[in-house]
Amino acid sequence: MDKVYDQTKVEPKWYKLWEDAGYFKPEINLDGKPYTIILPPPNANAPLHFGHAMYVVEDILIRYHRMKGDAALWLPGADHAGFETQVVFEKYLESIGKSRFDFDRQTLYQMIWDFVQQNKGTMEGQLRRLGFSLDWSRYKFTLDPDIVKMVCKTFKKLYADGLLYRAQRLVNYCTKNGTSFSDLEVTYEERKDPLYYIKYGPLTLATTRPETKFGDTAVAVNPKDKRYQKYVGKEIEIETVLGKAKIKVIADEMVDMEFGTGVVKITPAHDHDDFATAQRHNLPLLQVIGFDGKMNEKSGKFAGMSVKEARVAVVEDMEQKGLIDHIDYEYTHRVGLCYKCGTVIEPLPMEQWFIKMTELAKKAIEVVKKGEVKIYPKNWETTYFNWLKNIKDWNISRQIVWGMQIPAWFCDSCQKWTVTEGEEPEVCNNCGNVSLERDPDVFDTWFSSGQWPFATLQTTNPSAGGDFEKFYPTTVMETMYDILLFWVARMVMLGIYATGKVPFKDVLLHGKILDPLGKKMSKSKGNVVNPMEIANLYGADAVRMALVYGTAFGHDQSLSHPKLQAMRNFTNKLWNIGRFIIDFAPEDTKHPDLVTIMIKQWAEKKDPSQAEIFRLTQDDKDILEKLLQTIQTVSKALNRYRFHDGADTLYEFIWHQFADKYIESTKDRRAQAQPVLEYVFRTSLELLHPFMPFISEELWQRLPHEGKSIMISTWPSSN
């Protein structure tokens, strides 16, 4: 063995050997109990970031259960990431002086497809580099034709069951990226903006958006507010920058009597609360902001201005006409922003496809309350329940090119829609007309990825009839806590709806990986860390161990170079232990396998008399007893998803109990202790394998062993 551990000689060779031998396939334990994890598919538009290294948690579980004899399936895939990928590609087009509007739909789609295919290969190589034992023979992409077919099938079923409808509703619209979003994709930040007190005839009201006044269709007060009861149900005459007008005063309980003057303007086309109020009072929608973010022709001389420009100009005109009572410049409120570009979201009226969520949410709540789906850490259940109890209908239409185009065709004759499972209809289902036009929108990516567990398993391994019957429901869904609502809750709802079963039994939510200063990593901040650079510097094994050692699962953690170095030192320690036991073994200790078997029998307390036969010292007995305790602790930790407990226990046992104490005690009786040294070290490597697969395989292969690989050997028993 080399004097110094060199990861570059060890890590690259083993992954290829494992994969070529078929060890990543569940068929390696054909008759084993199914144990399934579906990899949360990383976005196919870019290489992995350091947060993806937390997939190590899933690999630990898969390797552990594979060694226990389970038919362990870890299914890999990639997500087309519709909106996010198109944004990335549009930035590329911008860098070469082009835009998406320079290409027709088919050309742009193909260009993005080619772009994604190039990046997918990079991403897959990174997953291999970190030792993730994925069954690549079952690899799926969200835009595979069979996956698209599954997603469209669910869409049609929702439509047939009356859970899907198309309607004009107010949507969250990003005028920069030109698409709508669901409520979850809007981020909010507190801002200080002017609160304008505007004179509306005999009333004064407060608003942060005077530029939308051209879309006002009513003025509202609270029915309990005695100050304004005499105006309710009447029209008041108001003066505007475009002339005099009349507007109705309505009473609605949504009005907060403590806000401003207790009077608010109702602009149904540009505010969600106002839209709901308008529906209750049969008020018309009057859209004055276009989808380009500019004022339209209904705003008179302000038409063509951006919202920001119009706000300034409208206020100036109103001040000149004496229509501004006063302005509060320190008003703090929450402003909705596009999660991707930070543009202020405009609520705008659009016809979109919506899913009715109430009944789906009830079942998703029920399965968690019954324990059919368990969430770890448990405290996240509150967030899950709160969102589902207050859920709104889900807008699944997106105005982009990249993704799954919605399988719905509009008939210009009967004005109705024909929905299919993806195939183009020859005639309208309602009137037989042959002139149909397909909806140009694509599905929200979360709608397709929300079907990922059952869609993948119903389309993999087709020669054997599919994996669905054996591996669904899956065992574990592990991901970061920030997509509990975006993805996990939606998988539960859609999984139950489409299959009648929960999609997974346990949900594990890991924490966020922050930069060394404790800040969130982002490309805009320039603090994103490439996991390959860290793996090349410290070794993949050290990176894996550092991510679970010393930090309780579910907690955020900063990228710690001292911890990474400590785990790099641990790999060196393992190597040096191996050199001592293997390279410097006494010549007279070439014992038969029977010796190892008998030591193991004593260690498992099946035959205590073996202690006398092999003249075991108290030090031998102590280390074997501590090894049994370590097996129990690590097994229990992995069964309970306490990965840090398992990692910490192994580090302490191998470095301090085994190396520092026991090995030192054997130097004067080396030949006698060699069987125990080999047994304890080999067993320790087997326990360590899920955490640090490369070095454990390398050293295990150099010791006397049974079997072809540590990764398909038997998990150590403490019975």
Q: Which of 330, 346, 362 lies at the terminal end of a domain, its last residue? A: 346
Mean pLDDT estimate for the chain: 93
> What is d(CA 152, CA 146) in angstroms, rounded to the nearest whole number?
10
> What is d(CA 449, CA 124) in angstroms, rounded to the nearest whole number?
19
Structural contact between residues 86 and 402, judged by C-beta atoms closer than 8 angstroms: yes
> What is d(CA 699, CA 20) in angstroms, rounded to the nearest whole number?
20
Q: Which pLDDT score is estimated for 527?
A: 83
How much of the chain, in percent, has pLDDT values that exceed 70?
Answer: 95
* 395: nearest Cα among 272, 510, 503, 575: 272
pLDDT 10s digits, 47-95: 898 999 999 999 999 999 999 999 999 999 999 999 999 999 999 999 9
The answer to the question of residue 526 being in a domain is no
Peptide bond into 693 cis (omega under 30): no
> What is d(CA 470, CA 464) in angstroms, rounded to the nearest whole number?
11
* 166: nearest Cα among 356, 319, 304: 356
> What is d(CA 670, CA 666) in angstroms, rounded to the nearest whole number?
5
pLDDT at 249 over 90: yes
First and final C-alpha spacing in the chain: 34
Q: What's the average model confidence in pLDDT over 103-119?
A: 93
Give 619-645 as a 3 state SS string: HHHHHHHHHHHHHHHHHHHHHCCCHHH
For 393, half-sphere exposure in the C-beta direction (CA atoms, 13 angstrom radius) is 16
> What is d(CA 393, CA 254) in angstroms, rounded to the nearest whole number?
20
The answer to the question of residue 380 being in a domain is no
For 534, half-sphere exposure in the C-beta direction (CA atoms, 13 angstrom radius) is 30
**Block residue for tokens 């889900």:** 394
pLDDT 10s digits, 665-717: 998 998 889 989 999 999 999 999 999 999 999 999 999 888 999 999 999 98
Q: Which pLDDT score is estimated for 586?
A: 80
Q: Which pLDDT score is estimated for 552?
A: 93
Higher per-residue confidence, 596 vs 220: 220
Cα→Cα distances 498→151, 360, 455, 493, Å: 10, 11, 10, 9
Q: Which pLDDT score is estimated for 596?
A: 64
The vertex-5 CA angle with 679 and 586, nearest 5°, equals: 40
Q: Which pLDDT score is estimated for 242?
A: 74
When divided into structural domains, the chain yields a total of 2
> What is d(CA 266, CA 273) in angstroms, rounded to the nearest whole number?
9
**Block residue for tokens 């196919």:** 44
Structural contact between residues 355 and 396, judged by C-beta atoms closer than 8 angstroms: yes
> What is d(CA 98, CA 674) in angstroms, rounded to the nearest whole number?
70
pLDDT tier, 564 (very low <50, low <70, confident <90, very high otherwise): very high
Q: Which of 278, 313, 346 lies at the terminal end of a domain, its last residue? A: 346
> What is d(CA 156, CA 148) in angstroms, rounded to the nearest whole number?
12
Q: Which pLDDT score is estimated for 598?
A: 62
> What is d(CA 690, CA 64) in angstroms, rounded to the nearest whole number?
6
Structural contact between residues 400 and 82, judged by C-beta atoms closer than 8 angstroms: yes
CATH number, domain of 234, equals: 3.90.740.10
CB count within 10 Å of CB 511 equals 18
Q: What's the average model confidence in pLDDT over 422-450?
A: 96
pLDDT 10s digits, 318-336: 999 999 999 999 999 999 9
Give 3-43 as a 3 state SS string: CCCCHHHHHHHHHHHHHHCCCCCHHHHCCCCEEEEECCCCE
Residues 6+ apart with CB under 8 A from 281: 218, 250, 252
pLDDT at 38 over 90: yes
Q: Which pLDDT score is estimated for 592?
A: 46
Structural contact between residues 71 and 467, judged by C-beta atoms closer than 8 angstroms: no
> What is d(CA 692, CA 511) in angstroms, rounded to the nearest whole number?
21
Residues 6+ apart with CB under 8 A from 366: none
Higher per-residue confidence, 256 vs 608: 256
The answer to the question of residue 116 being in a domain is no
The answer to the question of residue 486 being in a domain is no
> What is d(CA 47, CA 121) in angstroms, rounded to the nearest whole number?
9
> What is d(CA 278, CA 209) in angstroms, rounded to the nearest whole number?
18
**Block residue for tokens 């394998």:** 689
Q: Which of 346, 376, 408 lies at the terminal end of a domain, its last residue? A: 346
pLDDT at 523 over 70: no
pLDDT 10s digits, 486-511: 999 999 999 999 999 999 999 999 99
Higher per-residue confidence, 634 vs 592: 634
Q: Which pLDDT score is estimated for 434?
A: 93
Structural contact between residues 62 and 25, judged by C-beta atoms closer than 8 angstroms: no
Cα→Cα distances 149→152, 483, 498, Å: 5, 25, 13
Q: Which pLDDT score is estimated for 382?
A: 97
The answer to the question of residue 436 being in a domain is no
pLDDT tier, 597 (very low <50, low <70, confident <90, very high otherwise): low
The answer to the question of residue 655 being in a domain is yes
> What is d(CA 574, CA 577) in angstroms, rounded to the nearest whole number?
5
**Residue 656 belongs to what domain range?**
543-712
Q: What's the average model confidence in pLDDT over 221-239?
A: 95
pLDDT at 718 over 80: no
pLDDT at 613 over 60: no
pLDDT 10s digits, 645-662: 999 999 999 999 999 999
Q: What is the CA radius of gyration of the chain?
A: 32
The answer to the question of residue 466 being in a domain is no
Dihedral pair phi/psi, residue 305, rounded to 5°: -80, 150
Q: What's the average model confidence in pLDDT over 215-222?
A: 96
Q: What's the average model confidence in pLDDT over 170-198?
A: 94
Largest CA distance in the chain: 108
Q: Which pLDDT score is estimated for 243?
A: 77
The answer to the question of residue 318 being in a domain is yes
Q: Which pLDDT score is estimated for 525?
A: 74
* Dihedral of alpha carbons 613, 615, 618, 624, sign: negative
How much of the chain, in percent, has pLDDT values that exceed 90?
Answer: 86
CATH number, domain of 680, equals: 1.10.730.10
Q: Which pLDDT score is estimated for 252?
A: 97
pLDDT at 593 over 70: no
Point out which residues pair with 166 in neighbouring strands. 353
pLDDT tier, 603 (very low <50, low <70, confident <90, very high otherwise): low
Residues 6+ apart with CB under 8 A from 681: 577, 578, 581, 658, 699, 703
- Show the tokens assigned to 340: 């991707």
